[in-house]
A and B are shown apart, each in its own frame.
Chain A
Amino acid sequence: MRGDVLTALATVRDPELDEPITTLGFVASCTVTADGQAQVRLRLPTYFCAPNFAFLMVADAYDAVSAVPGVRTAEVILDDHFASDAINQGVAAQAGFVQSFDGEAVAELGDLRAQFLRKAVMAGTDLVCRPLIAAGVTPTELAALPLGAVPASPELERLRRRRAELGLAADDCAPLLIDPSTGERVDGEAVPLHLRRARVTRAGIEANTSMCSGMLQHRYSAPIG
C-alpha cells in the first residue's frame, strides 16, 4: 500500500514550480501501517518558503493520500517551517487557508493556484513548440496547428492536462496557441510575442526550481533528482 501512497503523492505538485513533490525531494518520509494508517512528512528548501504554496502542497497531499483505497487515516506533517503548526493543524482539521491563518489571510488560494496554472500552460507551450520551431515550423504554421496535429510527447500530454485543469479546451481540435487567461486562439501578429512570453515564463520557472533544489540539498544534504 505504501507504493500506492507514493503514487498518489506523485500527483501533488508544487504549484509554483509545476513539478511533483516527489521528484522535488519534498517528501521526507512515508509510512503506512498494516491497518491503513498513513503518515507522510514533507520538507521544503527553507524555513521561510512561501506559506501559501506550502499550505496548498500539504492540503493536496492530504487529499491525495486520503483517497488511496485502503488508507483509513491520513496524516501529513510539514516539518521545519515557520508556519508548520498553523498549516499542519489547519490541514488536519480540514480548515481552509483563511481559517488556518486566522486574521492573517483574507482569501482562499484558488486564484493563486489558477494564476500559476496559467504560467504552467505558457511554459508548457514553449516546451511543446521549441522542437517544432527547431524542425522548421514557422510561427504562422504553429498558430494554425490544432493539438491533434502535434506529434505525441509527454510534454504535449502535460500541456493538455494543465489546460484541462484550467477549464480550457484541450481536445484534438483545440488550437495549440491560446491565451491562458481567456482561452482564445492566438494568431497573426500576436504569435511571436506569445512565443517569447512562453519562453521567458519557462526560463523563470526552471531557474526558480533549480535554486530551490540547491537550497534543499544544502538544508538536508539530500540527493536531488
Chain B
Amino acid sequence: MYEKDGEKYFIVDTHMHYWNAAPDNWVPGAEQYAKGWIECFHAYQSLGPQETHWPIEKFQKYSEDDLMKDVFEDGHVDVAIFQPTYLKEWYKEGFNTTERNAALGEKHPGMFIANTRFDPRDGDNGLDELRRNVERYGSKGVKLYTAEWNNGSRGYKLSDPAAYRFLEKAQELGIKNIHVHKGPTIWPLDKDAFDVSDIDHCATDFPELNFIVEHVGLPRIEDFCFMATQEPNVYAGLSVVIGGLMHARPKFFAKVMGELLFWVGEDKMTFGSDYGIWEPKWQVEGFVDWQMPDDEELSDYQKLTTATKKKILGLNAAKLYDITVPAEFMVPAQAGEPAAKDDAQLVAGQ
C-alpha cells in the first residue's frame, strides 16, 4: 500500500514478470534472438528515471530477493500478478513460465497471483496443459500472445474457432481474465499483429470474460480505444504506458492518458509495472503525484481525482481478481465522478 497526503492506495500490479534471460538459458543456435530480445527489453528500461536503470547483467536475471524488495518492500505493491511469456524457441526453460513464476509465488502466500497461458494451436495437449495449470496454480487469468509463432503458423486471431475452444475451456475452468498482448511485436512478419478487431468479437461472444488489452494496442491506440468504448468487458492494461511515457515523455503521456480516460474510462484502466522492465516504486509514486497539466492543448482532457488514481492503481484490478480490499482503501460512493462529467449530466438532465 502507498500513503500520500492522508490518502491510502491499495496497489495491484497486474502485469509483472520473473524471467531468466541469462546466457545459461539461451537455446544453442538461437543465441542472437535470446540476446536481442533481452536487449530490446533493456532499451525500454532506459525510458524510466536514470537512477532506476540496471546493468544488463542484472537485467538478464534478477534474483528473488531483488523482486521481493523492488516490488513489495520498496514498490508499494500489495498483490502482484505474474504474466508468463514462454519464448521456448530461444530460452531453454522458457523466458518466464507459469512454473517459474508459481514456484516463487508459492513461497510467499497471498502476495502473488500466477496467471497462465494457452495457445490455440497446441490443440488437445494445450487444453490439457491449461487444465493442469489452472488446477495446480489456481490461475484466474491467462496472458496471450496472438502474434507468437508456433510450428510454422504466423500468429492467430482470438476470434478463430480454435481460440474459441480454448476460451470456452478457460471459462469452464474458472478463468475470468484474458490479458492479450496487443503492442510492440516482432512476428508475424506480414500480418497485422496489432489488429484488435478479434478482441471485439470475443468480447461480445464471451460477456462473462474480461479482456484486458495490455499496452493498449500501442502504437494503434485509436483502434483499441474505438473498440473498447463499445465493449463493456474490455479493459486498458497500462503496462508500458506509465513505464514508457510518464517519465521520459510527459507530454505524450498526458495525451495518451487523456484519450484513455475519455474513450475507456477510469473504471476500466489497470496499472501494471511490467517489472523487471521498470520498478513499480517510481511509477506508483509518480502516478499518485501526477495530474493532467494546465496546458491549452490538453485543456479538454479530464483532470484526475484521487478516486481515479485509486481505481487505476488497484481497485479496478481487485474487482477483476476478487481481491478483498480493506475498507480504508476504498473509494466513497459517487466520489469517482469528475466534476466535468457531473456538469454534463446536469446539463443533459435539464
Contacts and interface: CB of A to CB of B under 8 A. Distances in A.
Interface of A: 16, 45-48, 50-52, 82, 97-98, 101, 104-107, 109, 112, 115, 119, 122, 130, 134, 196-197, 199-201, 203-208, 210-211, 214-215, 217-219
A215 B219 contact: no
B89 interface: no
27 contacts: A46-B39, A46-B40, A51-B189, A52-B189, A82-B32, A82-B33, A82-B36, A97-B189, A98-B190, A104-B188, A112-B190, A119-B222, A122-B222, A134-B296, A196-B262, A200-B226, A203-B221, A203-B258, A204-B222, A207-B219, A207-B249, A210-B248, A211-B44, A211-B249, A214-B248, A218-B43, A218-B46
Interface string B243-271: 01100110011011011001100000000
A207 B256 CA distance: 7
Interface in B39-63: 39-40, 42-44, 46-47
A211 B244 contact: yes
Contact of B218 (A48, A207, A217): A207
Nearest to B255: A203
A178 to B, nearest CB: 17
Given A46-B43, A48-B186, A208 B219 contact: yes
Contacts of B185: 50
A172 B259 CA distance: 32
Contacts of B46: 214-215, 217-218
A219 B189 CA distance: 23
Contacts of B255: 203, 206-207
Nearest to B42: A218
Nearest to B35: A47
Nearest to A122: B222
A104 B263 contact: no
Given A47-B36, A203-B259, A211-B248, A97 B192 contact: no
A150 B225 CA distance: 29
A149 to B, nearest CB: 24
A97 B189 CA distance: 10
Given A104-B154, A207-B255, A214-B249, A51 B219 contact: no
Contact of B219 (A52, A122, A204, A219): A204
Given A51-B186, A82-B32, A200-B263, A211 B221 contact: no
Given A214-B47, A218-B46, A48 B36 contact: yes
Interface in B157-186: 185-186
A51 B255 CA distance: 28
B206 interface: no
Closest 4 CB pairs of A and B: A208-B219, A47-B36, A218-B46, A204-B221
B290 interface: no
A218 B296 CA distance: 31
B121 interface: no
Contacts of A122: 222
Contacts of A109: 190
Nearest to B218: A208
A205 B259 CA distance: 13
A201 B223 CA distance: 8
Contacts of A206: 252, 255
A156 B192 CA distance: 29
Contacts of B248: 210-211, 214
Given A48-B37, A207-B221, A211-B47, A105 B252 contact: no
A177 B272 CA distance: 37
B260 to A, nearest CB: 9
B37 A197 contact: no
Given A97-B189, A203-B255, A219-B43, 15 more contacts: A16-B219, A46-B40, A46-B43, A47-B39, A48-B37, A104-B154, A106-B190, A109-B190, A200-B225, A200-B263, A203-B256, A203-B259, A206-B255, A208-B218, A208-B219
Contacts of A97: 189-190
Nearest to A196: B262
A19 to B, nearest CB: 13
A146 to B, nearest CB: 26
Residue of B36, B44, B190, B253 ringed by the most chain A CB atoms within 10 A: B190
B226 A197 contact: yes
B220 interface: yes
B190 A210 contact: no
